[in-house]
Amino acid sequence: MRSSLNAARRARELDEARTAVVDVLVVGLGVTGAGAALDAASRGLSVAAVDAHDLAFGTSRWSSKLVHGGLRYLASGQVGVAWESAVERGALLRHTAPHLVAAHPYLLPLTSDVGPGEAATVMTGYRLGDALRAAAGTPRSLLPGPSRLSAARALALAPSLRPHGLRGALLSWDGRVVDDARLVVAIARTAAAHGARVLTRCRALALAGDGARVRDELTGAEFDIRARAVVNATGVWAGGLVPSVTLRPSRGTHLVLRPGALGALRAGLHVPIPGGRARFALVLPQADGRVYVGLTDEPLDGPVPDVPEAPESDVAFLLEVLGGVLDRPLGRDQVAGAFAGLRPLVDGPGGAGGATADLSRRHAVLRSPDGVVTVVGGKLTTYRRMAEDAVGAACPHAPASRTARLPLAGAGPVPSGVPRRLVLRYGAEAGAVLDLTRRDPALAEPVAAGITLADLVWAVRHEGALDAGDLLDRRTRIGLVPEDRAAALPAAEAALRRA
Ligand SMILES: Cc1cc2nc3c(=O)[nH]c(=O)nc-3n(C[C@H](O)[C@H](O)[C@H](O)COP(=O)(O)OP(=O)(O)OC[C@H]3O[C@@H](n4cnc5c(N)ncnc54)[C@H](O)[C@@H]3O)c2cc1C
């Protein structure tokens, strides 16, 4: 397949990148960089895109996986940001990734912490959000409107809620991506299908307007990639390559609960944070049955780590907030894992000293004097627009962006008779993954909940996985629970040998 990424293609294209002069070099292959690579390649430009580690190694795999309509921004008066979110959410649901993004219901339990006045204000916000949905052209059939539920109905959807004092719940809908790292992989593969050279384990050591000094992290070899334009999409690490870019990273932690920890949860929850001025913690049931609980917003001081740690204080805080609505609060022993990500927030007026939660989520496209274009901030939901703006700034004479309706790898008619778990992960490619097990039944062996050896072999052959970490921590999310990761490691190694 033209979209297949694997070790052989990487080796070939790395060789080519040493000698070619490309139209655009993209540095960083999170959602923004992968989006920029696709935007540029689909405009007909030649592209090399590098990441120091792997696809989705950075913040893009640590998100809440919401493809949101920007309600929060509406509430804080950032109408432009809210509009952009609603438009981009519609593009993902309707055109570009309907196989990966779908509507998901959320309940706001009406407990004694949420007075009737606050409930009415929140419902007004939901209705405004619904109006934005309609204005952005997303049909109700893809994203239902809000409603108020009785306590009995709320308990049917979320049986772990405390029934005592529950007056009912507000039900709202928003978009959700089945897995943020899979979205990045789909974008990168689509870019590859349009001819982009997608090169992981290639660290940019220094950038200039006409290229970069790059190190192949697998061999240690250093070389130059020459380019007519350079886009720095390294997220929270952007200032390390372009010192004039100043960010105020903020840490967001999620807990990972095992399937069933909150009973048969059929909706997400918005849990009021006491004293948080309409701020809510999120309970986010996942397709694999695990439940994420997030999320904190704490400024990060000091150097930016490759993989941020989730401190115990964040874990304790989230457990306490969640306990406020549960019939039986959870103990620390029920937390199977935790992860943290760093928001690449752009420092703006009033930023210094203020709460990171109040910094704008709008993205910025910044040109440094030597011509490097840095794109930073924003969010997963708006990656396509960020990419369009960045490539537009880097290559002002290029043809117009085509990505608003460009289907990502896996979008398209789903074959019949394929298990639902494969359809959720692979969309139109689900049949090809199933074929692997038809040809070699040993590949049907389960590796973890919802994952077989065939998923891992597919990831090595087509999704650019180069080692066990790529397989366990990004192509699948088995690694979010350390003991699941340890149990699956031999299977990952076997898949690498087999593929
Ligand atoms: C906790 C949390 C929850 C969030 N939840 C949501 C949500 O629900 N919905 C939403 O829309 N948004 C959400 N966001 C925001 C969203 O996740 C980020 O805005 C987005 O993922 C940033 O992507 P990026 O590609 O810009 O950066 P990253 O994903 O961090 O990518 C940067 C890449 O650059 C690479 N890199 C760094 N240095 C170099 C170098 N020298 N050479 C080569 N490569 C390099 C890194 O390896 C990395 O892969 C959340 C953010 C956080 C932190």
- Other Cβ atoms less than 10 A from the Cβ of 289: the count is 14
Q: What is the mean pLDDT of residues 430-439?
A: 96
Q: Is 342 in the pocket of ligand 1 (CB under 6 A)?
A: yes
The phi, psi pair for 112, rounded to 5°, reads: -65, -20
Sequence-ordered alpha helix ranges (H) in 271-329: 312-323
What pLDDT score does 357 carry? 55
Rounded Cα distance, 260 and 168, in Å: 23
Nearest Cα to Cα of residue 292 among 320, 316, 261? 261
204 Cβ below 6 A of ligand 1? yes
Centroid of ligand 1 to alpha carbon of 154 (angstroms): 34
Structure tokens, 192? 């590859």
State the DSSP H helix or E strand holding residue 255, giving kind and residue range, or none if neither.
Answer: strand 250-257
Is ligand 1 within 6 A of the CB of residue 60?
A: yes
Q: What is the pLDDT of residue 295?
A: 86
Partnered with residue 231 across adjacent β-strands are 26, 373
pLDDT reading at 56 higher than 90? yes
Q: Is the CB of 377 under 6 A from ligand 1?
A: no
Number of H helices, E strands in the chain: 15, 20
Q: Mutual orientation of helices 383-394 and 31-42 as an angle, nearest 10°?
A: 60
The SS3 assignment for 477 reads coil
Q: Whose CA is nearest to atom 10 of ligand 1?
A: 380
The atom number, within ligand 1, closest to the CA of 33 reads 25
In this structure, are residues 355 and 343 in contact, taking their beta carbons and an 8 Å threshold?
no
**Alpha-carbon distances of 24 from 30, 49, 211, 399, rounded to whole Å:** 16, 8, 9, 14
**Does residue 308's CB lie within 6 angstroms of at least one atom of ligand 1?**
no
Q: How far is the CA of 258 from the centre of ligand 1 (A)?
A: 25
**Of 380, 383, 385, which is best to mutate to test ligand 1, by the most ligand atoms within 8 angstroms of its C-beta?**
380
CB-ligand 1 contact for 50 (6 Å cutoff): yes
- CA 263 to ligand 1 centroid distance, Å: 32
Across the range 147-154, mean pLDDT stands at: 98
Instruction: Answer whether 157's CB lies under 8 Å from 266's CB.
Output: yes
CA 235, 239, 242, 243: dihedral to nearest 10 degrees? 170
Q: Using pLDDT thresholds of 50, 70 and 90, give the confidence band for residue 277.
A: low
Instruction: Give the number of the atom of ligand 1 that is nearest the alpha carbon of residue 382.
Output: 11
Cβ of residue 28 lying under 6 Å from some atom of ligand 1? yes
Distance CA 375, CA 268 (A): 31
If phi over 0 gives left and psi between -120 and 50 gives alpha, with beta otherwise, what is residue 235? left
| Distance of alpha carbon 17 from alpha carbon 90, whole angstroms | 36
Question: Rounded distance, CA 282 to CA 252, Å?
Answer: 12
CA of residue 196 to ligand 1 center, whole Å:
20
Render pLDDT for 151-210 as a digit per residue (tens, 0 to 9). 999 999 999 999 999 999 999 999 999 999 999 999 999 999 999 999 999 999 999 999
* Longest pairwise C-alpha distance within the chain: 69
Q: Which two tokens stand for residue 278?
A: 């309409």
Q: DSSP letters of 17-34?
A: HHH-EEEEEEE--SHHHH
- pLDDT tens digit sequence for 123-132: 999 999 999 9
Nearest atom of ligand 1 to the alpha carbon of 58: 30
In angstroms, how far is the first alpha carbon of the chain from the final one?
A: 16
Task: Indicate if the pLDDT at residue 318 is higher than 70.
Answer: yes
pLDDT at 328 over 90: yes
Give 57 Cα–ligand 1 centroid separation in angstroms: 8
- pLDDT of 465 higher than 80: yes
pLDDT in tens, 377-400: 999 999 999 999 999 999 999 999
Q: How far apart are CA 376 and CA 53, in angstroms?
A: 19
Confidence grade of residue 354 (pLDDT, cut at 50, 70, 90): low
Ligand 1 mean position to 325 CA, how many Å? 31
State residue 276's pLDDT score: 60
Q: Which residues contact 36 (CB under 8 A, 6 or more apart)?
A: 24, 26, 49, 231, 233, 375, 386, 387, 390, 391
Which residue has better confidence, 40 or 296? Answer: 40
pLDDT digits (tens, 9 = 90+) for 207-255: 999 999 999 999 999 999 999 999 999 999 999 999 999 998 999 999 9
Confidence band of 355 (pLDDT split at 50, 70, 90): low
Q: How far is the CA of 240 from the centre of ligand 1 (A)?
A: 15
Q: Is 39 in the pocket of ligand 1 (CB under 6 A)?
A: no
Determine if residue 234 is left, alpha or beta; phi over 0 gives left, psi from -120 to 50 gives alpha, anything else beta. alpha
How many angstroms separate the alpha carbon of residue 56 from the centre of ligand 1? Answer: 7
Rounded to the nearest angstrom, the distance between the alpha carbon of 71 and the centre of ligand 1 is: 21
